[in-house]
Amino acid sequence: MTVTVTPTADVPTGPAPTARRRTGGRSVLRLLILVAIVAVVLYPLIWMVGTSVKSPEEIVNNVGLLPERFSPGNYTAGWSNFDVSFGRFFLNSAMVSLLTVAGNGLSCLLAAYAFARLRFRLRGVWFAVMIGTLLLPQHVLIVPQYILFRTLGLVGGDWPYLPLLIPQFLATEAFFVFLMVQFMRGVPRELDEAARIDGAGPYGIFRHIILPLSRPALVTTAIFSFIWTWNDFFRQLVFLSQLEDYTVPVALTLFIDSTSQSAVGPMFAMSVLSLLPVFLFFVAFQRMLVEGINTSGIKG
Amino acid sequence: MALTTAPDPTRRGPGSVRAHAWRRGPGRLRHSEGLAGYVFLSPWLIGLMGVTAIPMLLSLYLSFTNYDVLTPFAEAQWVGLDNYERMFTADPSYWHAVRVTVTFALIAVPLKLAAALGVALLLNRAWRGVGLFRGLFYLPSLLGGSVALAIVWVNMFNRDGAFNSLLSLFGITGRPWVNDPDWALETLMVLAIWQFGAPMVIFLAGLKQVPTELYEAASVDGAGRFRQFRNVTLPMLSPVIFFNLVLETINGFQGFTAAFVLSNGTGGPVDSTLMYTLNLYITGFTELQMGYASAMAWVFLLAIAVITAIFFSTGRFWVHYSDGEDR
């Protein structure tokens, strides 16, 4: 902004350039440490993928990272390990996750617009309440919610996903409301004023200014909603009771019951598959995920 | 630079005048904005009432009853403070669960934050490859909460899992860690620490905000690296440390998935992984004691509120907020 844009802006944080020669050895050491940490971080993941393509004998005898012989049979065995195929579980998970994305995006955007832009009675109070719900653990609400949805006949009903989805269409994920409010506060108010002069009311401003400009916040919300719902276990465990309604995480726990060694390979194969969507999201949106954490403090 | 931005105030002039006149006009517009506010807020308000507030009150009522879900709600049997009395005086497994949860949080959270800060400091020096490392370290935070990863983790720390084969390379005979009551919870702590990436990313962002001049000034004053870390980095980073500490502690208390997978939903071996939320789940949904589970939920909520309040009230003694700087 100011004229005194100085060369210091280009200097990387940390030691001054003169110190560079002295730190040569140090930076090699640092790199070695980092590589070691990468090995620790990636080991379980590589071992998981490796084990998923080991034959039953190798799973017992070879606990190394990689199989001696590549045997992908675990994937077909795991896919149809239960009376209902994993294809169904994946479809169920995808449906719940995508509808959650839609619900969160829509309802949180509406609430955030009200908080960020509109003046109405008790706005401050409601905003404080919203912030208060940020830290509310879901475990506290699960019992009464279960009773409520059960009383309404929605648990194990014709379409058992309603108890999972209804809250998502009512902006109960305060993190996303907060994230969007923060984002919208950065949108210049002059745009609102200009639209107002052109005769737009609150709805027009939402439609023509806020909605298109909030795309980045919407994308961040969508990615996190998807990943969290895809990985979520607690609510899905509580609300889904029929095998054919199970989502992937709930179905995976069925493997634990069968303790036989022969189930380990298929169990690992399905675990790998279940993490694949999250991994692909990570590869595609890595930068955005990391920045989403930074701007909002969202936990991954 | 200054010249190109000059038209800005003039352009703004008529606009703001008009806006002013408009605001001064009939109260109808203001009224319609107030109405619009509630229209846009209505999904959230319905959610607040239906999904949060009413269930919370319901849960408070239930906590004074015996209720098994199978009968209609009206048949919940009022028992006064019995549930709370039982929890505090007559239920050893409740206190055991509290102990397990507090132990888990007290050990896993500081270690996770220390790992996050340490790695963030290593990464903070700007050079190529930071983005790659940052991404790789963050990956466990995305995957670690899932059932799939918990399954992998349990198998890794089995009797003949990968961890023991690693130990045998050094001539150490391992044990079936996940089946050992003395070690099962520790494997869950390691899983939590393994997910240090999310707080690390937040630390990295915080480190970038520390003005370079402070380090220059400190080194002119003859401060070594350690002194710089203690007297510049730590105070400047304290708001971020505080933020991570609050968030991770609250998350730590809520650990459920990995404990469920490790023990197949029982909290075993010998209740060693009976986390609070798992105990609540078993009480409510396996034993169908919904009233008692509601009482547990309320005590949990109050405990978290008290802990958060303690954090905030002690925070002013060690959290340093630099004045006059917005972000």
For residue A15, pLDDT over 60 is answered with no
Q: Quick check: B254 and A137 CB within 8 A?
A: yes
Q: Which two tokens stand for residue A40?
A: 């620790």
Residue A123's contacts (CB-CB under 8 Å, 6 or more residues apart) are: A114, A115, B37
Rounded to the nearest angstrom, the minimum Cα separation between A167 and chain B is 6
Q: Please give the mean pLDDT across all residues of chain B.
A: 86
Asked whether the beta carbons of A105 and A221 are under 8 A apart, the reply is yes
Q: Could you say which DSSP state residue A207 is in?
A: I
Helix axis angle for B130-143 and A264-296, nearest 10°, is 120
The rounded distance, in Å, linking the Cα atoms of A29 and A36 is 11
DSSP-derived letter for residue A171 is T
Q: How high is the pLDDT of residue B29?
A: 54
What's the pLDDT band for B9 if we cut at 50, 70, 90?
very low
- What would the mean pLDDT of A42-62 be, rounded to a whole number? 89
Amino acid identity at B214? L
Q: How far apart are CA B207 and CA B130, in angstroms?
A: 14
If DSSP codes are grouped into helix, strand and coil, which group holds residue A15?
coil
Element (H, E) at A241: none
pLDDT of residue B105: 97
- Mean of all residue pLDDT scores within chain A: 86
Residue of B nearest to A227 (CA): B142
Q: Tell me the nearest-neighbour CA distance from B90 into chain A, angstroms.
A: 22
pLDDT of residue B181: 92
> Measured between alpha carbons, how far is A255 from B84 in angstroms, rounded to an integer?
37
Cβ separation B124–A111 shorter than 8 A: no
B202 touching chain A per CB within 8 A: yes
CB pairs under 8 A between A and B: 316
Instruction: Tell me the nearest-neighbour CA distance from B251 into chain A, angstroms.
Output: 9
In B102-121, the residues whose Cβ lies within 8 Å of chain A are: 119
With an 8 Å Cβ cutoff, are A190 and B12 in contact? yes
A127 vs B15, which has greater pLDDT? A127
Whole-number Å distance between alpha carbons of A23 and A38: 22
- Residues of A within 8 A of B252 (CB-CB) are none
A126/B45 Cβ within 8 A: yes
Q: Does B264 touch chain A (CB under 8 A)?
A: yes
Residue B20 has a pLDDT of 43
Asked which of A32-41, A236-245, A253-262, B165-174 is least confident by mean pLDDT, the reply is A253-262
Which residues of chain A neighbour B152 with C-beta distances below 8 Å? 44, 47-48, 268, 271
Would you say residue B323 has pLDDT above 80?
A: no
Q: What is the ipTM of this complex?
A: 0.86
With tokens 């350039």, the residue in question is A17
Contact A73, A264 (CB under 8 A): no
Mean pLDDT, rounded, for B15-33: 50
- Kindly tell me the sign of the dihedral angle through the C-alpha atoms of A203, B8, A188, A118: negative
| Largest interatomic CA distance in chain B | 85
DSSP character at residue A72? T
pLDDT confidence of residue A259: 60
Q: Give, in degrees to the nearest 5, the angle at Cα B102 between B96 and B103.
A: 85
Mean pLDDT of B244-264: 94
What is the 3-class SS of chain B, one letter each residue? Answer: CCCCCCHHHHHHHHHHHHHHHHHHCCHHHHHHHHHHHHHHHHHHHHHHHHHHHHHHHHHHHHCCEECCCCCCHHHCEECCCHHHHHHHHHCHHHHHHHHHHHHHHHHHHHHHHHHHHHHHHHHHCCCCCHHHHHHHHHHHHHHCCCHHHHHHHHHHCCCCCHHHHHHHHCCCCCCCHHHCCCCHHHHHHHHHHHCCHHHHHHHHHHHHCCCHHHHHHHHHCCCCHHHHHHHHHHHHHHHHHHHHHHHHHHHHHCCCHHHHHHHCCCCCCCCCCCCHHHHHHHHHHHCCCHHHHHHHHHHHHHHHHHHHHHHHHHHHHHCCCCCCCCC
Alpha carbons B287 and A116: distance in angstroms, whole number: 45
- Asked if omega into B269 is within 30° of 0 (cis), the reply is yes
Across A134-148, b (16+ Cβ under 10 Å) vs e yields eebbbbbbbbbbbbb
Give me A59's structure tokens: 């799973």
Q: Which of A46, A70, A36 is nearest to A279 (CA)?
A: A46
Alpha-carbon distance of A268 to B224, in angstroms, equals 49
Mutate to test the interface with B, among A140, A210, A223, A280 (most CBs of B within 10 A): A140
Q: Are A289 and A295 in contact (CB under 8 A)?
A: no
Q: Do B148 and A257 touch (CB under 8 A)?
A: no
Taking an 8 Å cut-off on Cβ atoms, the answer to whether B138 and A294 are in contact is no
Name residue A42's amino acid: L
Strands B77-78 and B65-66: antiparallel
For residue A41, which residues of chain B lie inside 8 Å, CB to CB?
A: 136-137, 139-140, 194, 197
Nearest to A249 among B34, B146, B160 (CB): B146
Among A44, A47, A233, the residue with its CB nearest the CB of B257 is A233
Q: How far is B94 from chain A (nearest CA, A)?
A: 16
The per-residue pLDDT for B2 is: 34
Smallest CA–CA distance, residue A162 to chain B, in Å, is 13
Question: Residue A214 carries which side chain, given as an amino acid letter?
Answer: S
Q: Rounded mean pLDDT of A82-86?
A: 93
Interface touch A171/B194, C-beta < 8 Å: no
User: Looking at residue B97, what is its pLDDT?
Assistant: 97
**What percent of chain B lies above the pLDDT cut of 70?**
88
**Contact at CB, B294 and A193, closer than 8 angstroms:** no
**Residue of A15, A231, A290 with shortest CB distance to B145:** A231
Q: Is B183 exposed, middle or buried (0-12, 13-18, 19+ CB in 10 A)?
A: middle
Report CB contact under 8 Å: B134, A107.
no
| Helical residues (DSSP H) of A118-214, grouped into ranges | 123-133, 138-151, 162-165, 174-185, 189-197, 202-205, 211-213
Tens digit of pLDDT for each residue in A256-282?
876 666 688 999 999 999 999 999 989
From the list B233, B232, B241, the residue with the least C-alpha distance to B207 is B233
- Cα–Cα separations (whole angstroms), residue A187 to A113, A193, A214, B34, B227: 11, 12, 9, 21, 41
Helix (H, G, I), strand (E, B) or coil at A148: helix
What does R_g of chain A's alpha carbons equal in angstroms? 25
Higher pLDDT, B17 or B67: B67
Q: According to the model, what pLDDT value does residue A203 have?
A: 93
CB contact under 8 A, B40 and A267: no
User: pLDDT digit string (tens) for B118-172?
Assistant: 999 998 875 677 888 999 999 999 999 999 999 999 999 988 788 888 888 888 8
What's the rounded mean pLDDT across residues A202-219?
92
Question: Closest to A8 (Cβ–Cβ): which among B212, B298, B308?
Answer: B212
